Amino acid sequence: MKALERIYRRRVPLDTITTPELARSLADASRESGRQVGALVHRSGVVDYVMVGSPSGIMLPEIGRLRAAKGRFRALRLIHTHLFNEPLNQDDFTDLTRLRLDMVAAILLTPEGEPRAMTWAYNIPKPENAVPGTRGYEVVDPVPWGRPQPNFGELIEALESEFTRIEKNRPLDAKDGRAMLIHVGEKRPGAARLAQVRMKELGALAVTAGVQVVDSVIQLRDQIDPKYVLGKGKLESVLIKAIDLDVETLIFDQNLTPTQASTIAGRTDLRVLDRTQLILDIFAQRAESKDGKLQVELAQLKYTLPRLGQKDDSLSRLTGGIGGRGPGETKLEIGRRRARERLERLEKQLKDQAKQRAERRRRRQSDDVPVIAIIGYTNAGKSTLLNALTNAGVVAENKLFATLDTRSRRLSLPQGNTVIVSDTVGFIRDMPKDLFAAFRATFEEARDANLLLELVDASDEEERTHKQETEKLIRELDLDDVPKIRVYNKADRIDPSLAEALGQEPNTLVVSALDHNSLRVLIDAIESRFRPPVSA
Ligand code: GDP
Ligand code: MG
């Protein structure tokens, strides 16, 4: 205890990593305890925490989950002992990057417990177009004890200003968009296959939300871990991978309880979202009418409210970026009290709004270019078809365009007609019930369309055979009085005889969005419906 207390009294000037006195105190405590001993030293020079670990490792205290401001470090450096002359290890690097410490330094001890050398690592900015996996830290190999140390304060200042410069130039949310998908299931027959299917769907949803999926992880367990969902060890490995791949967000396939979400976020310091939040984020991007926006924000708040921690730190985790995006240009309002007030206001506005549907009808009449909406399940190929039809596959990358409207394209037909083709959110399997009103709201444009293309993934047996479900959904979404063509997509992936059989159904076409020639029939079918009036 005495040795530890002495450590707390040490002061370390900013121009050096550590002082001989602090190193000596740490070494003494290590020798007496036979364990690693560490100090978290604040830039002000005081020792904020002293920790005693095991012979081979050390656990840092919860030093606050609040992420350090963008481009800044935590103003704390870890100085600790290594008993067996071993270099810095993965745990050290994880703490360094995860907690954005100023530095992690290890004092390597001789068998007699005297400082022998020091090795240290610090965070460095990754170059703009670094390949995934590029390390975000620099390691300095052990330097014999007693050699001059670099000027710590100057080094950190230079690094921070470099980080700030890069943060400023980084396109907005580019990093927020990097996500890892996680599915955890219970071991039972068919679980592996089901997990694959669900992962595919989740991936498609993520893409729809504009998320860059960097990796996906499936874990089958005897039992879902009530606290961490994944096993604790697995969660650690996910975290290490996430740091390596510069991932900002974990997206879980299963819905998380508020406690699970905050436990995992606290442990990893990453943004944690579940499937419902991802879906809500898609809706938020797609809602267009006032009514739709209200519906979406209402659903978001209802889901988010119980997930707001008492402390303010949930604020940083939820504002902005995926999952924190409100409809339109707004940010999802956060903060318990404000959220509750906003909820009440929204509910009232929605009631008033119900009468104002005429706004929509007016819009439709003022624009006489026919609108064709593509509907169908996620992953059916809606976006691919839209791109193929308009041959405008580049627009998605163009931020300027993206803010206008990514989902509607003008298409000039060979015979001179112009139509607008628009993509929809798409049907989502296992849609959380609470989201239906918001989901419905995103179909307003489709409801006003002149023609629906109901896209079916012909290679997906489930989708092909569950026509009744689709019909029911179309009724519930009020889409049943819009003329419709059923289009089986992905013909390239099915047996030609099946393709032929499907094509026999009335009002049905079979295409492959990847094969431009096959789209001819579709364009012809559209054209025959919107033949221009023969001018006199
Ligand atoms: P959406 O969710 O309905 O918008 O589906 P996407 O357009 O994102 O397509 C989902 C996946 O199906 C993508 O990987 C596409 O490349 C793929 N895809 C789309 N159309 C076809 C097709 O005609 N044939 C094949 N083999 N794959 C396709
Ligand atoms: Mg799509």
The three-state (H, E, C) secondary structure of 157-171, written as one string: HHHHHHHHHHHHHCC
Q: What is the CA radius of gyration of the chain?
A: 29
Nearest ligand, CA of residue 514? 1
Ligand 1, atom 7, lies closest to the CA of 381
Q: Is 48 near ligand 1, meaning CB less than 6 Å away?
A: no
Please tell me if the CB atom of residue 424 comes closer than 6 angstroms to any atom of ligand 1. Answer: no
Closest CA to 440 of 326, 329, 312, 294: 294
Express each pLDDT in 20-46 by its tens digit: 999 999 999 999 999 999 999 999 999
Higher pLDDT, 83 or 398: 83
- State if residue 512 touches ligand 1 by the CB under 6 angstroms criterion: yes
Atom of ligand 1 nearest to the CA of 513: 23
Among 144-148, 252-256, 401-405, the range scoring the smallest mean pLDDT is 401-405
In angstroms, rounded to a whole number, what is the distance separating the alpha carbons of residues 318 and 180?
17
Residue whose CA is at the smallest distance from ligand 1 atom 22: 490
C-alpha 57 chain-centroid distance:
32
Angstrom distance (rounded) from CA 349 to CA 327? 15
- Residue in this structure with the two tokens 């900013």, named with its chain if needed: 14
Range from 175-184, 277-286, 343-352, 508-517 that averages highest in pLDDT: 508-517
Measured in Å, residue 320 CA sits from the centre of ligand 1 at 29
For 131, what's the count of Cα atoms within 13 Å in the CB-facing half-sphere? 1
Which protein residue has the closest C-alpha to ligand 1 atom 18?
Answer: 381
- Name the residue of 197, 201, 202, 379 whose CB sits within 8 Å of the most ligand 1 atoms, as the mutation to test its pocket: 379
What pTM was computed for the model?
A: 0.64
Q: In degrees rounded to 5, what are phi and psi of residue 84? A: -115, 30
For residue 411, give the DSSP letter: E
pLDDT of residue 136: 85
CA of 409 to the centre of ligand 2 (A): 14
> How far away, in angstroms, is 67 Cα from ligand 1 center?
38
Q: Check residue 103 and give its pLDDT.
A: 97
Q: Mean pLDDT lowest for which of 177-181, 356-360, 489-493? A: 356-360
Give the mean model confidence (pLDDT) for residues 479-501.
95
Pairing of strands 37-42, 408-412: unpaired
Q: Cα(434)–Cα(296) distance, rounded to whole angstroms?
A: 11
| Better-predicted residue by pLDDT, 163 or 231 | 231
Cα 441 to middle of ligand 1, angstroms: 25
387 lines ligand 1 (CB under 6 A): no
SS3 42: strand
Which tops the pLDDT comparison, 85 or 177? 85
**Average pLDDT for residues 242-250, to the nearest whole number?**
85
Task: Confirm or reject: Cβ of 381 under 6 Å from ligand 1.
Answer: yes
Q: Ligand 2 centre from 425 Cα, in Å?
A: 7
H or E segment and range at residue 182: strand 178-186
Q: Is the pLDDT of residue 457 over 90?
A: yes
The least confident of 99-113, 182-196, 242-256, 313-327 is 313-327
- Reported as a single tens digit per residue, the pLDDT across 271-287 is 888 999 899 888 887 77
Q: Which ligand is nearest to the CA of 456?
A: 1
Q: How high is the pLDDT of residue 19?
A: 96
For the ranges 219-223, 311-315, 516-520, the lowest mean pLDDT is seen at: 311-315
More confident residue, 132 or 187: 187
Average pLDDT over residues 119-125: 93
Residue-level pLDDT at 334: 58
What does DSSP say about strands 484-489 and 508-510: parallel, antiparallel, or unpaired?
parallel
**What is the 473 CA–ligand 2 centroid distance (Å)?**
18
Is 171 or 138 the better-scoring residue by pLDDT? 138
CA of 391 to the centre of ligand 1 (A): 15
Backbone φ and ψ of 22, nearest 5°: -65, -45
- List the beta strands (DSSP E) in 76-177: 76-82, 103-109, 115-123, 137-144
Residue 18 has pLDDT above 90, yes or no: yes
The protein residue whose alpha carbon is closest to atom 21 in ligand 1 is 490
pLDDT classification of 67: cutoffs 50, 70, 90: very low
On the question of pLDDT at 189 being above 50, the answer is: yes
What confidence tier does 217 reach under pLDDT thresholds 50, 70, 90?
A: very high
Q: What are phi and psi of 219, to 5 degrees?
A: -130, 125
| 382 Cβ closer than 6 Å to some ligand 1 atom | yes
Residue 419 CA: distances (Å) to CA of 111, 304, 399, 512? 80, 39, 24, 21
> Is there an atom of ligand 1 within 6 Å of 380 CB?
yes
Is 519 close to ligand 1, i.e. is its CB under 6 Å away?
no
State both tokens at 231: 């096993």
Closest to 153 in 3D by CA, of 280, 338, 17, 349:
17
- pLDDT, residue 319, reads 47
Position 491: which residue type?
A
- β-strands 115-123, 37-42 pairing: unpaired
- Ligand 1 near 486 CB (within 6 A): no
Looking at the CA of residue 489, tell me the nearest atom of ligand 1.
Answer: 23
CA of 288 to the centre of ligand 2 (A): 17
Q: Which of 68-77, 85-94, 183-192, 515-524 has the lowest mean pLDDT?
A: 68-77
Indicate the burial class of 416 (C-beta count within 10 angstroms; 0-12, 13-18, 19 or more): exposed
Ligand with minimal distance to 425 CA: 2
Kindly give the distance from the C-alpha atom of residue 381 to the centroid of ligand 2, in angstroms, as a whole number.
Answer: 7
Q: How far apart are CA 105 and CA 123, in angstroms?
A: 12
Nearest atom in ligand 1 to the alpha carbon of residue 423 is: 4
Tokens of 518: 């096959």
Task: Mean pLDDT check: name the lowest of 159-163, 356-360, 448-452.
Answer: 356-360
3-state secondary structure of 76: strand
Confidence of residue 174 (pLDDT cuts 50, 70, 90): very low
Residue-level length of the chain: 536
Q: Of residues 206 and 266, which shows the higher confidence score?
A: 206
In short, whether 406's Cβ falls inside 6 Å of ligand 1 is no
Q: Which of 213, 282, 384 should be mutated for ligand 1, with most atoms under 8 A from CB?
A: 384
Take atom 27 of ligand 1 and give the residue whose Cα is closest: 490
Say whether pLDDT at 434 is over 90. Answer: no
Is the minimum distance from the CB of 409 to ligand 1 under 6 angstroms? Answer: no
